[in-house]
């Protein structure tokens, strides 16, 4: 394990002063009067009269009409979106509301930075920017009190919480304001501020913690970010002294209604609740013989008069499974529990579904639940914090993974982004109080990319990376910026595939150390109650999830995917072991056998780290100028840890399968 060098100041991430400097140099007028006005003025400086302004930031209907701004009055501004109008005399940012206008200002900064990176000049005219998703949200797994096992931030790899310290909400929320500004620049518009595993101290945010919740909400509101709370389904018992939390009990409904009234009295623009129920020990409606629709609708009824939303997580499965039982399949669980309830959820319930059927593995098929509930608002959930993808010690740019999910035609025609367009996109935040926000400085790109892909899933991951580079290193001389761009693309474009290459193969997943989930342990979960197995024996490997002979999971998919995954001949190589148990000698579409692929890909992925390290080394002469010295030190430490861990992954996985199969690596490379 590496020991990171201390850093004295907080890194500005993708909004350094240089990213706003070109706009700040223009005489500007901010015609906003809501809570986001101060943020816009802070980034641009003092207002000048509109007649003298080269840059105007306004909200539709808030400036006496767009004609006063010298632009065409027929502009169609989409809900939650903005237009950028470039004329010979001025640039106008016009948002649907104050928050949209602020996001438009940051979009203009982004376009200006990308133009400097690429050497292009934005053309005059009107460009319209509309959010693809109504909900673009981050879930923080932060604990108010430090948990004895999970710590301050559950599955957090970037230090403590930016919201909490010493068992309380922080007095100084300056860091929260800086975070909200970063999020506004990506398009994120909502944040759940506490862990979905709601412990005793965190539960009280709903009651005696409301004044502090209101303080956080005040800060987030200034950047157009709505506040959500994770709540315990058992709150009426835990906090209200009731003998039950049964959704059918009138006293329980009354308790929730009163609790919600108090929340909105403290936070009038409160977003709603996030609920993890009947999952991994969390309480839920099953205890009372009720369905998840019963439970979600109870809270939805309390929130409805205020316009609030319930985000009800579909992560429900048997985590006390007998490892001998090959018929019970964790992958099936969400579909089994929720698909029969389609149409029974209230309109202000959003079912929050993990992007794959398991648990954020480096490679999973897209969850069939996302296409199985057309009468239910569904959101897709991804994990920005790298629990199973290197824990922000390994460089793993996740935008290609998320892009493949959002673009996947799950119902045969429409992409997932379209299927969830009534619900939205949710990500588990990667941020902590680390000076670089995300532990690994280059992992900032994942947080940035989440917001951008939630806004527009058609963006290419490479272009999003360009945006992040252009903003993060804004102000660098063009030749140096071109070198940084080339180096970072070399390091990051293929990093997800490279990480997969030295870790779990062909979709099998979960070859991690139990508890920490960091580092290799091929059999770590093979005999555990959590229901995640690879079933490797002397003859073969993989889980049979076919309808014909296995758990039947493949049959939960709509066509054509049910047939594609059912047949070993058509199942994609990268998911073969997720759907099929095959002999080690099974020949992949690539022409190599399963076991030789395991041998080769582990070794090749580690060898590819040579190029990653060389790319960063190529920037050594820029350290202290374009590349801050403390950032360089941290990146080098993380790259060294990645190599150490990757070698361990390679050697354990290759050795395991040689000992299990008895098949010699045809390349002649050393196997232990």
Q: Which residues of 317-355 are buried (b: 16+ CB within 10 A; e: fewer)?
A: beeebeeeeeeebbbbbbbbbbbebbebbbebbbbbbbb
CA–CA–CA angle 29, 33, 35 (5° rounding) = 115
Cα dihedral sign for 89, 95, 97, 103?
Answer: negative
pLDDT digits (tens, 9 = 90+) for 324-383: 988 899 999 999 999 999 999 999 999 999 999 999 999 999 999 999 999 999 999 999
Cα diameter, the chain: 80
Q: Which of 97, 139, 364, 387 is catalytic?
A: 387
Question: What DSSP character marks residue 269?
Answer: T
Catalytic residue among 280, 523, 610, 670: 280
Has residue 170 got a pLDDT over 90? yes
**Residue 72 has what pLDDT?**
62
Whether 277 and 328 have beta carbons less than 8 Å apart is answered as no
Residue 4 has pLDDT above 80, yes or no: no
Long-range pairs, 175-179, Cβ under 8 A, ≥24: 175/10, 175/433, 176/216, 176/219, 176/220, 177/219, 177/222, 177/223, 178/10, 179/431, 179/437
Q: Could you tell me the pTM of the whole model?
A: 0.97
Catalytic (active site) residue 359: yes
Q: Per-residue pLDDT for 108 more than 70?
A: yes
Beta carbons of 338 and 369 less than 8 angstroms apart:
yes
**Residues 386-440: pLDDT tens digits?**
999 999 999 999 999 999 999 999 999 999 999 999 999 999 999 999 999 999 9
Give the model confidence (pLDDT) of 236-264 as tens digits: 999 999 999 999 999 999 999 999 999 99
CA pair distance 600, 596, nearest whole angstrom: 6
Q: What is the pLDDT of residue 66?
A: 56
Domains belonging to the chain, first-starting first, are 5-129 (3.30.379.10), 136-472 (3.20.20.80), 499-543+581-661 (3.90.1330.10)
pLDDT (mean) for 280-287: 96
Question: Are residues 349 and 277 in contact, defined by beta-carbon separation less than 8 angstroms?
Answer: no
Q: According to the model, what pLDDT value does residue 154 have?
A: 97
Confidence at residue 73, expressed as pLDDT on a 0 to 100 scale? 62
Least confident of 17-31, 112-126, 612-626, 649-663: 112-126
**Residue 280 appears among annotated catalytic residues:** yes
CB 462 within 8 A of CB 489: yes
Percent of the chain whose predicted confidence (pLDDT) is above 90: 94
Least confidently predicted of 58-67, 185-194, 295-304, 390-399: 58-67
Contacts of residue 453, defined as CB under 8 A and 6 or more positions apart, other chains included, come to: 399, 402, 403, 406, 425, 459, 464
* Digit-coded pLDDT (tens) for 205-217: 999 999 999 999 9
Which pLDDT tens digit goes with each residue over 651-669?
999 999 999 999 999 999 9
- How confident is the model over 23-74, as pLDDT tens digits? 999 999 999 999 999 999 999 999 999 999 999 999 987 644 455 676 766 7
Residue 197 has, within 13 A of its CA and on its CB side, a CA count of 17
Is 387 assigned a catalytic role? Answer: yes
Computed over every residue of the chain, the mean pLDDT equals: 96
């Amino acid at each position: 394990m590496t020991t990171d060098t201390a850093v004295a100041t907080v890194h500005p991430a993708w909004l350094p002063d240089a990213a706003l400097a070109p706009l700040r140099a223009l005489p500007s007028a901010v015609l906003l009067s809501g809570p986001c006005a101060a943020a816009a003025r802070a980034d641009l400086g003092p207002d000048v009269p509109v007649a003298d302004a080269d840059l105007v930031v306004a909200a539709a209907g808030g400036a006496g009409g767009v004609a006063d701004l010298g632009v065409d009055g027929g502009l169609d501004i989409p809900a939650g979106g903005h237009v950028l109008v470039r004329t010979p005399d001025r640039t106008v940012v016009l948002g649907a509301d104050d928050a949209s206008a602020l996001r438009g200002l940051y979009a203009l900064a982004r376009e200006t930075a990308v133009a400097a990176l690429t050497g292009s000049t934005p053309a005059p005219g009107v460009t319209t920017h509309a959010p693809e998703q109504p909900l673009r949200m981050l879930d923080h797994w932060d604990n108010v009190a430090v948990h004895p096992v999970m710590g301050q931030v559950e599955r957090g790899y970037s230090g403590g919480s930016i919201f909490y310290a010493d068992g309380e909400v922080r007095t100084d929320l300056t860091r929260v304001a800086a975070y909200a500004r970063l999020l506004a620049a990506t398009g994120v518009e909502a944040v759940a501020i506490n862990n979905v595993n709601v412990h005793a101290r965190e539960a009280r945010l709903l009651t005696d913690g409301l004044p502090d919740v209101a303080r956080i909400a005040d800060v987030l509101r200034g950047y157009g970010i709505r506040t959500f709370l994770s709540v315990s389904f058992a709150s009426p018992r835990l906090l209200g002294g009731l003998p039950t939390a049964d959704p059918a009990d009138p006293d329980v409904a009354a308790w929730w209604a009163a609790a919600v009234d108090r929340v909105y009295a403290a936070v009038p623009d409160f977003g709603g609740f996030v609920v993890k129920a009947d999952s991994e020990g969390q309480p839920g409606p099953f205890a009372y013989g009720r369905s998840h629709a019963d439970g979600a609708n109870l809270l939805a009824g309390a929130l409805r008069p205020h316009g609030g939303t319930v985000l009800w997580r579909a992560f429900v499965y048997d985590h006390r499974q007998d490892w001998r039982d090959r018929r019970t399949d964790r992958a099936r669980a969400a579909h089994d529990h929720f698909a029969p309830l389609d149409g029974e959820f209230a309109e202000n319930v959003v079912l929050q579904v993990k992007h794959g059927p398991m648990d954020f593995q480096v490679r999973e098929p897209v969850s069939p639940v996302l296409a199985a509930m057309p009468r239910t608002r569904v959101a897709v959930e991804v994990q920005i914090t790298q629990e199973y993808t290197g824990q922000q010690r390994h460089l793993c740019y996740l935008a290609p993974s998320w892009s493949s999910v959002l673009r996947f035609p799950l119902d045969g025609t429409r992409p997932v982004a379209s299927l969830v367009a009534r619900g939205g996109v949710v990500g588990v935040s990667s941020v902590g109080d680390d000076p670089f926000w995300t532990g690994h400085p280059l992992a900032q790109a994942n947080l940035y990319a989440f917001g951008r892909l939630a806004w527009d899933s058609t963006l290419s991951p490479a272009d999003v990376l360009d945006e992040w580079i252009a903003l993060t290193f804004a102000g660098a001389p063009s030749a140096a910026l071109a070198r940084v761009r080339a180096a970072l693309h070399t390091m990051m474009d293929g990093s997800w595939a490279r990480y997969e290459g030295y870790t779990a193969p062909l979709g099998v997943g979960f070859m991690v150390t139990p508890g920490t989930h960091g580092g290799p342990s091929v059999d770590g979960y093979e005999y555990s109650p959590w229901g995640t197995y690879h079933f490797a024996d002397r003859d073969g490997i993989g889980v049979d999830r076919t309808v014909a002979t296995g758990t039947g999971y493949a049959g939960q998919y709509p066509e054509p995917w049910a047939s594609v995954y059912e047949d070993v001949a058509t199942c994609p190589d990268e998911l073969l072991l997720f759907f099929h148990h095959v002999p080690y000698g099974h020949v992949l579409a690539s022409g190599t056998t399963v076991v030789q692929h395991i041998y080769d890909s582990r070794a090749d992925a580690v060898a590819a780290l040579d190029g990653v390290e060389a790319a960063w080394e190529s920037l050594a002469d820029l350290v202290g100028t374009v590349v801050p010295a403390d950032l360089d030190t941290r990146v080098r430490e993380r790259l060294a840890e990645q190599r150490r861990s990757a070698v361990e992954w390679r050697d354990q996985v290759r050795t395991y399968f040689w000992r299990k199969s008895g098949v010699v690596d045809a390349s002649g490379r050393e196997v232990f």
